[in-house]
Structure 1
Amino acid sequence: MKGVILAAGKGERLEPMNASRPKHILPIGGSPLIFHTIRAMQKAGITEVIIVVHHMGDMIASCVGDGSALSVKVNYADQGRLGGTGDALRAAAPLIGSDDFLLIYGDLAFKPYLLVDLISFWERSGGQGAIGAIRLSDASEYGAIESIGGQLVRIMEKPCFPGPGLVNAGMYVLPGRILKYLEATPLSERGEYELTSTINIAAENGMVFSIYELRQGSWVDVGRPWNILEANQMLLSDLVRGRSIRGDVEEGVQIRGDALIEEGASVLSGTYIEGPVWISRGCRVGPSCYLRPYTYLASGVRVGNGCEIKGSVVMEGTHIGHLSYIGDSVVGKDCNIGAGTITANLRFDGKNVRVSIRGRLMDTGHRKLGAFLGDGVKTGINVSLYPGVKVGHSSWIGPHVSVQRDIPPETVVIPKVEVEFETRPRR
């Protein structure tokens, strides 16, 4: 059985975190996102993986390579356009052949055991295919699963009605002969060829798909900025177990709970760590910092004296100046965070934080949520960012600015302050 990963999309709802690289290789839980999927496939017995690429596909190929570092063989299929998931499968079809295959959407994070369980379920079920599904409190953003007796009737792609339901989780075991239905797949209302439409046509023609329901807390769709934090928390819970201290930890550092400190990292005296926390190679933390649970520092991050970081993802090469607070936030790579920068993460009214996604305010489901800074952002001293604010890549924010709304990419924000000078009276 071969594995197929669909990784051609832009991920526009993930802005500003996707400006300089595709979402599939964002560092989450210690590795590029797609690495977690490939490792899970390898544990499930998959030795050959096909990755369908298009948008920034060369960056994915450069990151993953031939797969040898992950103990698999990787081939690439260029979709050639952004024509939907069915069109992506069509691009991979010549490499798949006639065998059964495992297909995963490339922007998912999930517990590594899921693929082993999905394949075992498929083998036991006696059907020709298996579809992973999960129950959500709001099914309106996903393909809703309609089933009878555990077998698929149809997938309703993104129904308009809100409410709880069983939705398509983007994980499939499919028979090779489903490929013949690709040519019969019509354009959807969105102008794309949907894999779910192909599956519906196959089901109408007698192909049996069994529904495998995922456990709650085992799956995250990394489609919006706050999903990065959810995925990171889920992955660190599994990946950081016990203590693995390979870096330089000075006397006077206190560690409570699980921690992974890579070789080449240094943690200076007076720093207090509550795990699970992952500190990557080349990081320098302290002195006298406070790292709280579910913090992930990617390679080369610098955290200055007296900083507090809580439940955040800080990407490669970013410097955080002294006396700053980064809480429940995502900070892109190569940012320079000025001293005293604060990310507020709680509304006065205690309601869930809302974030603007493509012009629409969305309830994130989180009472505590900070800011999202794209790559190359710079802040001056004493900058404050309101909960849920997004700062576009390469933007500069001057000192003492209170950021209350989103900032577009490549924008300079300068405070206008009138200062009066008076001659001091002589005594």
Structure 2
Amino acid sequence: MQAVLLAAGESSRFWPLSEGKHKSLFYLMGKPLIQWTLEGLERVGIDEVVIIQSSSCLVEKTLKAFQTRLNLSYVVQEEPKGMGDALLSAKKVLRDSFFLLHAHQFTADQWLTAMMEKQNKTSSKLILSGQPTNQPRKYGMLKLENERVVGIVEKPSSEDAPSDIRALGIYLLTKKLVRILEKSQEHPYAFEDALNGFMAHQDVRVVIQDVQSISLKYPWDLFDAIRILMKRHLKPYCARSAQISPLAHIEGDVFIGENAKIFEYAVIKGPCYIGDGCVIGTHSLVRDHTDVESGAVIGAHAEVARCIFQTGSSSHSGYFGDSIFDQRTKIGAGTVTANVKIHRDEIKPVVKEERLSTGRHALGVIVGCETQLGISVKTMPGTLVGAFSFVGPGVIVEENVPSETRLLLKQEKLIKNKRRRS
């Protein structure tokens, strides 16, 4: 069976973690998300995978570091023009029947077997995946007649939603759909229009499961992703080459990679992942679904809770809660990431000039790659800091910081003579 992975999109809502790379290349537990997806596909019997990537070919370059028994091939989508255009770019290599999914959907293996069984039991050539939701404005919603899908309505209001089942984004397709796409007018929702056109004349079915799945629209969705991955794959492990002080304390499910160093009086409370070559400093506390990727440093006297540190990032003392730091970020001593509002209200970050509901009451800062935070920086809940930026010492970050920006504190000093004591 063949699967096609979409890995060429712009991912603009994933800022500031989308600078220069597709979101499926974000690392969790030592592997990019796309590699977790490929391993899941292999488990359920997929033998060929076509990966649609951007012209940078960064996906192909990244995956060369990982071994697989899958037959991988790559197609370039020159411009990010939507799913329809991506699928057309691969039309020459498609089999008559194939799966289509996003490259970050590492939980897809929970769906594919059921979708193939549904196809075998029915005459349908096209099977969708669906899941209940109470937030129709975020998704394409399925219009159902008994077991058939007869339409998809994009992001309707609660009043206009045709059902409570959303399209999950995992499709078992036929090449006939590609022929419909070729005749369609090019626009961002051409794929959905082609599906609706196919449904008007053909039997289309859906597999509905209320199981844990991953939606990676926004950077904070990575917190759900790491929880799912740790639940499915994390096991206690300590590499022989790791150097762990006998005065350190480690409890729960904790993975410690090759050549990692855990210093005196450090405490790690799992579930946690500590990658190859990481350093956990003296008197630091790392806990609760924290992921520290290879070569990252957690300095002495730091508390880290529910955070993700990408490769080569480093911190000194401070408090880091519910925050994400992309590759090679540098964080000065005394940094504090506020992650909860005083009145415990929902945190609503600003993305593309729109304030969004997250459903989260704990969310710290999300920092793009190679950004530097000076000593004693304070960040307010839900702030986003772009890549290649610099936030100077003592700054309180109260709103988003664009990429390639210097944010400095202008300090006014008052100097007075001090009277001597008589």
TM-score normalised by the chain length of structure 1 = 0.93
- Cα distance in structure 1, aligned partners of 2:165 and 2:389: 40
Aligned to 1:86: 84
1:232 equivalenced with 2:226 (yes/no): yes
**1:183: Cα distance to partner?**
2.1
**Which amino acid is the alignment partner of residue 374 of structure 1?**
G
- Cα distance in structure 1, aligned partners of 2:66 and 2:399: 45
- Cα distance in structure 1, aligned partners of 2:346 and 2:29: 25
SS at match of 2:57: helix
- Cα distance in structure 2, aligned partners of 1:313 and 1:176: 40
Compared CA separation, residues 229 and 68, structure 1 to 2 (3 A): closer
Identity of aligned residues (%): 25
Counterparts of 1:37-76 in structure 2 under 5 Å?
A: 37-54=37-54, 57-65=56-64, 69-76=67-74
**1:80: Cα distance to partner?**
2.3
Aligned to 1:204: 200
1:270 equivalenced with 2:265 (yes/no): yes
Specify which of 119, 123, 126 is matched with residue 122 of structure 1.
Answer: 119
**Which amino acid is the alignment partner of residue 292 of structure 2?**
L
Answer whether contact 2:263 2:282 (CA < 8 A) is retained. Answer: yes
Answer whether contact 1:109 1:221 (CA < 8 A) is retained. Answer: no
Aligned to 2:155: 158
SS at match of 2:58: helix
**1:20: Cα distance to partner?**
2.8
Q: Over residues 268-295 of structure 1, what are the superposed CA-to-partner deviations in whole Å (9 max), with x where a residue is unaligned?
A: 1211112111111011111121111110
Specify which of 333, 351, 356 is matched with residue 350 of structure 2.
Answer: 356
Q: Over residues 179-232 of structure 1, what are the superposed CA-to-partner deviations in whole Å (9 max), with x where a residue is unaligned?
A: 222223334xxx3253222222112122x222111324x212111111111111
1:27 equivalenced with 2:27 (yes/no): yes
Aligned to 1:344: 338
- Cα distance in structure 1, aligned partners of 2:62 and 2:111: 24
Aligned to 2:249: 254
- Cα distance in structure 1, aligned partners of 2:415 and 2:126: 77
Unpaired segments ≥5 residues, structure 2: none
Answer whether contact 1:185 1:193 (CA < 8 A) is retained. Answer: no
- Cα distance in structure 2, aligned partners of 1:254 and 1:114: 40
- Cα distance in structure 1, aligned partners of 2:168 and 2:409: 46
Q: Over residues 101-145 of structure 1, what are the superposed CA-to-partner deviations in whole Å (9 max), with x where a residue is unaligned?
A: 111122434264333343344334452221111122211121111
Compared CA separation, residues 238 and 167, structure 1 to 2 (3 A): same
Specify which of 398, 403, 406 is matched with residue 400 of structure 2.
Answer: 406
**Which amino acid is the alignment partner of residue 17 of structure 2?**
M
TM-score normalised by the chain length of structure 2 = 0.94
Answer whether contact 1:111 1:235 (CA < 8 A) is retained. Answer: no
Q: Over residues 375-396 of structure 1, what are the superposed CA-to-partner deviations in whole Å (9 max), with x where a residue is unaligned?
A: 1111111111000000111111
- Cα distance in structure 2, aligned partners of 1:71 and 1:342: 45
Answer whether contact 1:24 1:106 (CA < 8 A) is retained. Answer: yes
Aligned to 1:144: 141
- Cα distance in structure 1, aligned partners of 2:255 and 2:320: 20
- Cα distance in structure 1, aligned partners of 2:353 and 2:154: 22
Aligned to 2:181: 182
Unpaired segments ≥5 residues, structure 1: none
After superposing the two structures, state which structure 1 stretch, 325-334 or 106-115, moved more: 106-115
**1:75: Cα distance to partner?**
0.8
**Which amino acid is the alignment partner of residue 199 of structure 2?**
A
Aligned to 2:360: 366
Compared CA separation, residues 125 and 249, structure 1 to 2 (3 A): farther
- Cα distance in structure 2, aligned partners of 1:115 and 1:239: 19
**Which amino acid is the alignment partner of residue 304 of structure 1?**
G
Compared CA separation, residues 293 and 124, structure 1 to 2 (3 A): farther
- Cα distance in structure 2, aligned partners of 1:108 and 1:252: 40
| Cα RMSD after superposing both structures | 2.0
**1:250: Cα distance to partner?**
1.7
Compared CA separation, residues 403 and 419, structure 1 to 2 (3 A): same
**Which amino acid is the alignment partner of residue 144 of structure 1?**
M
Compared CA separation, residues 263 and 144, structure 1 to 2 (3 A): same
- Cα distance in structure 2, aligned partners of 1:271 and 1:184: 62
- Cα distance in structure 2, aligned partners of 1:118 and 1:294: 32
- Cα distance in structure 1, aligned partners of 2:157 and 2:13: 18
- Cα distance in structure 1, aligned partners of 2:106 and 2:360: 19
1:283 equivalenced with 2:278 (yes/no): yes
Aligned to 2:169: 170
**1:316: Cα distance to partner?**
0.9
Q: Over residues 236-257 of structure 1, what are the superposed CA-to-partner deviations in whole Å (9 max), with x where a residue is unaligned?
A: 1111134445422221222221
- Cα distance in structure 2, aligned partners of 1:398 and 1:81: 37
**Alignment coverage as a number of residue pairs:** 418
- Cα distance in structure 1, aligned partners of 2:307 and 2:108: 20
After superposing the two structures, state which structure 1 stretch, 295-304 or 250-259, moved more: 250-259
1:380 equivalenced with 2:378 (yes/no): no
> Following TM superposition, where does structure 1 have runs of at least 4 consecutive aligned residues deviating by more than 6 angstroms?
none
Answer whether contact 2:326 2:369 (CA < 8 A) is retained. Answer: yes
Aligned to 1:303: 298
- Cα distance in structure 1, aligned partners of 2:119 and 2:28: 29
SS at match of 1:273: strand
